Amino acid sequence: MNQSLLARDCDFEEKTGVGREKVKMKEEIEQVMVEGRSESANIEEESLFTPNIETTTNDDLRLPLFHSEEELTKSTASSDGGFSLIQTIFNALNILAGVGIISTPSTVKEAGWASLVILVVFAIVCCYTGILIGYCFQSKKELLTYPDIGEAAFGKNGRLFLSIILYLELYSFCVDFILLETDNLQKILPGVYIAIYGIELNSTQCFGVLTALVVLPTIFIRNKRLLNYLSGFGVFATFSVFVSVLCIGASEGVGFHNGSSGSIVKWSGIPFAIGVYGFCFTGHAVFPELYTSMSKRTDFNKALVVCFLLCTVIYGTVATSGYLMFGESTLTQITLNMPKNNIVTWIALIITVVNPLTKYSFLMNPLAKGVEGLLPNQINAESTYTFYGLRITLVASTVYAALFFPYYGILIALTGSFLSLLVAVILPPICFLKIAKNKASTLQVYLCYVIIALGVIGAGLGTYSSILKIFVQKNST
């Protein structure tokens, strides 16, 4: 009976249009609900960094950029598997614990034992600024590169400025690696000279071209797993140099006594130490790639802390041991001080030569990708010819730059003072404060201002000192 009455009512509503009107009203209500949920979601997304002043308390402003570990994990989970915590630490060590290790003893010679204080300060500051970069990436999913952070903070102009500084730093690092290779290869094979069809190449030019030919295959690698193997070997190479320096010091005829009476502080050498340690601890240009390649991005801060701690121990030990071994005779590359007739010296030299080859691709590939993004629309950036042609051109240009300016120690000090301090110390806290806004705690704000001030002072002093040494070196040759 009830079913027949219901059917009759439905038939009546259909015939009179009442049913159609109810259906229409129901659809309109559902549409309003959907729009309301969408608007609410947009407001919630915007409120990550721009909270509603009426509903936000002082305690809310001191919360992390994400309010829960679960939310952070969901927002930063990698979809392609990615690298584990241990693999990320190896990759970070491969970038940070690199060729700068052989120049740390010269900082003690130039700036005195106080340079070790600068080492520790730089380690803490650069680790914290790396964590700030991670916070910026956690804030918005669409941020994938360092220039993205610049755009999120200061728009298109910020992206352009940061891109220029970033790519100049990466390019300078690649030039430094070429210089390091040529210097150490000349130590291993002195007096090499080639003359073919009227073209004459001295030892520096020969080894510069040879280095370019060796590193070319590494920058064509696209497989992340193969790059991971390069990282593993790079860390092994750095550790081997570390052990070799200690073994040379423990051998007869060297010892750890030549620098025992060194100065506590040499103020004239402080800018040089700032530049070298700025070079040693800057891997921030590659940190975005490390972060986005992690399988569990919530472990990014842990990876940085472990990596910087290990680097500080390695750099500090080599700096102390190297200066105690050779004192005021310490050169800008400790490997050049080692006795030639010692088998450990040869091992250290060979490993020092191989070590940059494992790092070159990690620096050149981000640079090449950045240049690809700047190519005009008429050029297909994704074509095979562009991929290989661009990278070959960039490698060749780094060789030319290294041959034109063959002063390794001064170049790494200049790179570290100006470019590295900008990328690793000054810009991360500036971008963080701009992106975080009211979400940054009072302590974070004060720390950022202190770091910015220290970075500006250090960059000014180090850059002035390095440029002055360049003129002195040019005039003396």
Average pLDDT over residues 123-135: 93
Does position 130 have pLDDT exceeding 90, yes or no?
yes
pLDDT at 94 over 70: yes
- The backbone region for 252, taken as left when phi is positive above 0, alpha when psi lies in -120 to 50, beta otherwise, is beta
Predicted local confidence at residue 49, as pLDDT: 38
Q: Report residue 179 as tokens.
A: 């210089």
For the cut 60, the answer to whether the pLDDT of residue 216 exceeds it is yes
3-state helix, strand, coil in the chain (%, to 5): 75, 0, 20
- Parse the chain into domains and list their residue ranges: 84-476
pTM passes above 0.75: no
Query: What architecture is the 84-476 domain classified under in CATH?
Result: Up-down Bundle (1.20)
* More reliable by pLDDT, 141 or 79: 141
Euclidean distance between CA atoms 92 and 307, whole angstroms: 7
Residue 174 pLDDT > 60, yes or no?
Answer: yes
Torsion of CA 222, 94, 213, 285, to 10 degrees: 70
Q: Check whether 202 has a pLDDT greater than 70.
A: yes
Is residue 389 scored above 70 in pLDDT?
yes
Beta carbons within 10 angstroms of residue 261's beta carbon: 8
Backbone angles phi, psi at 125, to 5 degrees: -65, -50
CA triple 303-70-125, angle to 5 deg:
30
The rounded distance, in Å, linking the Cα atoms of 78 and 358 is 25
Higher pLDDT, 313 or 183: 313
Q: 465 falls in which pLDDT band (50, 70, 90)?
A: confident
Evaluate whether 323 touches 115 at the Cβ level (below 8 Å).
no
Measured distance CA(261)–CA(310) in Å, rounded: 28
pLDDT (average), residues 155-175? 87
Percent above pLDDT 90 for the chain = 18
Identify which has the larger pLDDT, 206 or 6.
206
Give the pLDDT mean for 417-438: 90
- The residues near 303 (Cβ < 8 Å, ≥ 6 apart) are 85, 88, 89, 92, 290, 294
Widest distance between CA atoms in the chain: 112
Q: In this structure, is the dihedral angle defined by the CA atoms of residues 385, 387, 388 and 392, taken in order, positive or negative? A: positive
Cα 432 versus chain centre, distance: 16
pLDDT tens digits, residue range 263-304?
888 988 898 888 888 888 888 877 888 888 888 888 889 999
Q: How many residues does the structure list for the chain?
A: 477
Residue 212: what pLDDT?
87
Alpha helical stretches, state H, 189-285:
203-219, 224-250, 270-280
Instruction: Supply the pLDDT for residue 218.
Output: 79
φ, ψ dihedrals at 401, nearest 5°: -65, -40
Q: Which position has the higher pLDDT, 176 or 262?
A: 176
Give me the pLDDT at residue 477, please: 60
Beta bridge partners of 77: 296
**Which pLDDT score, from 0 to 100, does residue 120 have?**
94
3-state secondary structure of 49: coil
Please provide the average confidence, as pLDDT, over all residues in the chain.
77
**214 contact partners, CB below 8 Å, separation of at least 6:** 357
Comparing CA positions, the residue from 274, 265, 201 lying closest to residue 463 is: 274
User: Quick one: average pLDDT of 329-347?
Assistant: 83
pLDDT single digits (tens) 233-273: 777 877 888 888 888 888 766 777 765 667 888 988 898 88
